[in-house]
Amino acid sequence: MKINSNYHNINESYLFSTVARKIREDKEKHPDKEIIRLSIGDVTLPLPEIVVEALKKASQEMGNKETFKGYGDEQGYAFLRDKIAEYYKGKGVTVKPSEIFISDGAKSDLGNVLDIFSVDNTVLMSDIVYPVYLDTNVMAGRKIKFYEGNSENNFLPLPDDKVDADIIYICSPCNPTGAVYDKAGLKAWVDYANKKDAIILFDSAYEAFITDKNLPTSIFEIEGAKTCAIEICSLSKTAGFTGTRLGYTIVPDELVREGTKLNKLWLRRQTTKFNGVSYIIQKGAEAVFTEEGYKQTRENIKYYLGNAKVMMDVLDELGIWYIGGKNSPYIWLKCPEDMGSWEFFDYLLSYGVAGTPGVGFGEHGEGYLRLTAFGDRENVIKAMAKFKQAVIDLKK
């Protein structure tokens, strides 16, 4: 008997546990001090009313002999896949309901989709990264290469023809940097992938935060993407579903490798290993894609982006370099006075504000700090006043 020894190669991430420990220790030392967390990576507003109503109604249906539902299709109910196809039509993108697969979230799909690819593939991802991309490939024992985000390329690196890769991860708007690719940037990646016969796994979990009409909210807005990309999205950040759970993955029919449609492989994978999402939750998700659902979810997003605006105004005033915030709930800022990520984190904490050290997301994140716009407006205003004082004192 042998275990999968690749698990020994996964790096333990101490980022969030260390942040939590430092906040706890500071509280013990100064019990009266208020600490505001601008480090929350989870939504804070409750589910929109229209979703709650749909969930209630669906629960009632499940308790009724006439409307009760047993096993559903693993790839999701048609009513929801039709709605998502319509939503994409609004983006100017045509996807068939049969190309849409409902799941319990983007994290699951990002990991599970690797089932349909050989472990012999080489994977390419940013070196400042959502840990799921990295850890799932380490578990499988794939060869991993990195492309480098930095302040020169605004953390939006472009492909390098000299580098070969088979599977490419792109997250836009990006967690943790908040950077968003424009159409030309994504086109460069699509052309590169088509040329290398590679597959892009496009994580669009934050697409609903894009307010700039010129920025793409789906990779399928880019010509040529259907022959090289899989898009993975989620209602976690769009509609506050982090505790409710629903995501979806789009595998176009045009995506063919070695004479095989990847859509067929993914369908086979999901119908074999996945039970589908409960009827009740899918009805809740359906409500998100109605006109009223769109309005209510976008109101919540507007609130978060309003928090981001409060942060950006203070950063602008202080002349601090940053990206994100405008089309993303994340702000990625350069620590003032060339401080290191943890050094600035500790310093800010002494003023009662907690961010997330950039270096925790990868070594090229050193010298940066991530702020998140999830949370209460009042707290954000208070925290940014403290932030401002901290930076002013630093420059004295």
Ligand X SMILES: *Cc1c(COP(=O)(O)O)cnc(C)c1O
CB 28 → ligand X: shortest distance, Å?
30
Distance CA 288, CA 286 (A): 5
Distance CA 156, CA 133 (A): 17
Closer by beta carbon to ligand X, 146 or else 387: 146
Closer by beta carbon to ligand X, 172 or else 341: 172
Closer by beta carbon to ligand X, 102 or else 335: 102
CB 105 → ligand X: shortest distance, Å?
3
CB 302 → ligand X: shortest distance, Å?
19
CB 43 → ligand X: shortest distance, Å?
9
Category of 385 on φ-ψ map: left (φ > 0), alpha (ψ -120 to 50) or beta = alpha
User: DSSP readout, 378-396?
Assistant: HHHHHHHHHHHHHHHHHH-
DSSP character at residue 250: E
The pair of three-digit structure tokens given for residue 37, joined into one six-digit string: 């967390």
CB 42 → ligand X: shortest distance, Å?
8
Backbone angles phi, psi at 294, to 5 degrees: -60, -45
Closer by beta carbon to ligand X, 352 or else 357: 357
Contact residues: ligand X, CB under 6 A = 105-107, 130, 171, 175, 203, 205, 234, 236-237, 242, 247
Of 381, 372, 375, residue with least CA distance to 310: 381
Q: Which residue has the tokens 């309901």?
A: 97
The pair of three-digit structure tokens given for residue 115, joined into one six-digit string: 């089932």
Q: Output helix, strand, coil percentages for the chain, rounded to the nearest 5.
A: 45, 15, 40
CB 113 → ligand X: shortest distance, Å?
13
Q: What's the distance, Cα to Cα, between the start and end of the chain in Å?
A: 63
